[in-house]
Chain A
Amino acid sequence: MARFTRGFAGRGADRDPRLPPGQYDAGQTWPVLTAEATPRLSPSTYTFGIEGLVARPTTWTWDELHALPPSTYSGDIHCVTTWSKLGITFTGVSVDTLLEAAGGPLPAATHTVATSHTGYTTNVPLPDVTGGKAWVVWEVDGEPLPTEHGGPVRMIVPHLYFWKSAKWVATLTLLDHDQPGFWEVNGYHDVGDPWTEQRYQGD
């Protein structure tokens, strides 16, 4: 049982039920969290690939991605640094669609690693990027995705803490084992469920 803090009343009574524990509503702001310098990538040379344990490893150009059936996520995102952004819409293509186009995961596949054009990596269990839970996106609220938020193209896995949603995504690699990424090696959680506060390894 957590000890309460002297003099802290909190905001319990009027708390938005869409906010996971320990999160606050960032409102109209969208904080930027990146450990690297922001890269300057051009859509004309951008590529995204699905690699590893799939039937047909495949790479798409910007135009090829746009030719796939589009998909939209409308909902909330949650950053481990405790801000949440409620009611945001991303447009792109579902990871399900991409996996299908790549012939589907091989039976041995259990985990994925998303890698950015900057070298950033993050690991996500395969069941957390399939079944309508993850997207590769290039629009936010109807506008092109800004560079500082991962444009031209990023991944989103919105039911997990947002560091699992790789900016400037280059590849999604399917593996038969869990392979911790950039923040995970630095002590953050391998899954990252905001509703159970899986912030750090051991949570």
Chain B
Amino acid sequence: MTDTLPRKGWQMAKVLGSKPETAHARTFRLSLPGRIPHLAGQHYVIRLTAPDGYTASRSYSIASAPDPSDEFEITVERLEEGEVSTFLHDVVEPGDELEVRGPIGKFFVWDGDSPALLVGGGSGVVPLMAMLRHARRLGKSDIVRIVVSVRSPDDLLFADELPGPDATVVHTRMAPADGSRPPGRIGLADLAPAVAAVGPDARVFVCGSAGFCDAATDLLRQAGVPVERIRVERFGPTG
């Protein structure tokens, strides 16, 4: 019953460092000694506490592939009105301690074994990146495909790892100069080859804004994917 629980409750993790992914997103590497190893797709909750006891907490997807070490990475988009994301971007330094709880989640998790199609919009790519990295590390790129939708090349997270033979990047507003695909919203033609590549038994993971997720799931249905194979994680305007 409690197998997905952060059994240890709130713990103090140490910030080892951070690096920019785009102008608005940073990846933070944290160390949490004795942590429960995470699964691809899970998240941690981060809780900030003010001296007067006021708290603010948000969930952040883990970007790093599962591994047995004490370290993991979260990738955080900076939202102007987000009191936690702005704090992480603007204030946190290496050596700081952050209160965390996790890893959390069992539903939006790839088992590392079955065929999977990953469809992400914007920063929704983060939990999918943990899955893709896991697949590549396991040598199972053949059973996983990822399709990522971003506004422009500058908005692509993990750009040094995407695209690839297992990865398609779709640009909605501004496409790169190679002219392979004009800018435009994700369409059936973007998804159909990936749907075909993973086969009818694949689990499909969709992550992004509510609008992106609904558009993507409608397309997946048109592409013949049974709705019960689709798992969705929507990112609201939280921060």
A26 to B73 alpha-carbon distance, docked (Å): 27
CB neighbours (8 Å) of B59 from chain A are 81
A4 to B51 alpha-carbon distance, docked (Å): 6
CB-based nearest B residue for A32: B210
Q: Say if the beta carbon of A193 comes within 8 Å of chain B.
A: no
A29 to B81 alpha-carbon distance, docked (Å): 12
What 0/1 pattern do residues 89 to 129 of B give for CB contact below 8 A with A? 00110001111010011111000000000000000000000
Q: Are B53 and A12 in contact (CB under 8 A)?
A: yes
Given A81-B59, A148-B210: A35 in contact with B233 (beta carbons within 8 A): yes
A21 to B52 alpha-carbon distance, docked (Å): 12
A54 to B59 alpha-carbon distance, docked (Å): 39
What 0/1 pattern do residues 64 to 98 of B give for CB contact below 8 A with A? 00000000000000000001000100011000111
CB-based nearest B residue for A183: B107
Residue in B59, B104, B238 whose Cβ sees the most chain A Cβ within 10 Å: B238
CB neighbours (8 Å) of B56 from chain A are 8, 10-11, 22, 24, 82
Given A24-B56, A82-B57, A186-B106: A201 in contact with B5 (beta carbons within 8 A): yes
Q: Say if the beta carbon of B222 comes within 8 Å of chain A.
A: no
Q: Say if the beta carbon of B4 comes within 8 Å of chain A.
A: yes
- Which of B6, B99, B101, B227 sits near A5, CB closer than 8 Å? B99
A180 to B5 alpha-carbon distance, docked (Å): 14
CB neighbours (8 Å) of B6 from chain A are 187, 200
Q: Say if the beta carbon of A142 comes within 8 Å of chain B.
A: no
CB distance from B124 to the nearest CB of A (A): 13
A7 to B214 alpha-carbon distance, docked (Å): 38
A161 to B98 alpha-carbon distance, docked (Å): 25
Q: Say if the beta carbon of B136 comes within 8 Å of chain A.
A: no
Q: Are B55 and A2 in contact (CB under 8 A)?
A: yes
Q: Say if the beta carbon of A107 comes within 8 Å of chain B.
A: no
CB neighbours (8 Å) of A106 from chain B are none
CB neighbours (8 Å) of A82 from chain B are 56-58, 238
Q: Say if the beta carbon of B217 comes within 8 Å of chain A.
A: yes
Q: Are A10 and B236 in contact (CB under 8 A)?
A: no
CB neighbours (8 Å) of A22 from chain B are 47, 55-57
What 0/1 pattern do residues 1 to 22 of B give for CB contact below 8 A with A? 1111110011010000000000
CB distance from B94 to the nearest CB of A (A): 12
Q: Say if the beta carbon of A185 comes within 8 Å of chain B.
A: yes
Given A6-B96, A7-B91: A33 in contact with B236 (beta carbons within 8 A): yes
Q: Are B57 and A34 in contact (CB under 8 A)?
A: no
Q: Are B232 and A10 in contact (CB under 8 A)?
A: no
CB neighbours (8 Å) of B181 from chain A are none
Residue in B6, B47, B54 whose Cβ sees the most chain A Cβ within 10 Å: B54
- Which of B206, B210, B238 sits near A83, CB closer than 8 Å? B238
Q: Are B5 and A202 in contact (CB under 8 A)?
A: yes
Given A37-B227, A38-B214, A148-B214: A8 in contact with B238 (beta carbons within 8 A): no
CB neighbours (8 Å) of B91 from chain A are 6-8
21 pairs, CB–CB < 8 Å, chain A vs chain B? A2-B10, A3-B49, A3-B97, A5-B48, A5-B87, A7-B91, A8-B87, A10-B55, A22-B47, A31-B234, A31-B236, A32-B210, A35-B232, A37-B206, A37-B230, A82-B238, A187-B3, A187-B104, A187-B106, A200-B5, A200-B101
Instruction: List A residues at the B interface (Cβ < 8 Å).
Output: 2-12, 15, 21-22, 24, 26, 29, 31-39, 81-83, 119, 148, 180, 182, 185-187, 200-202
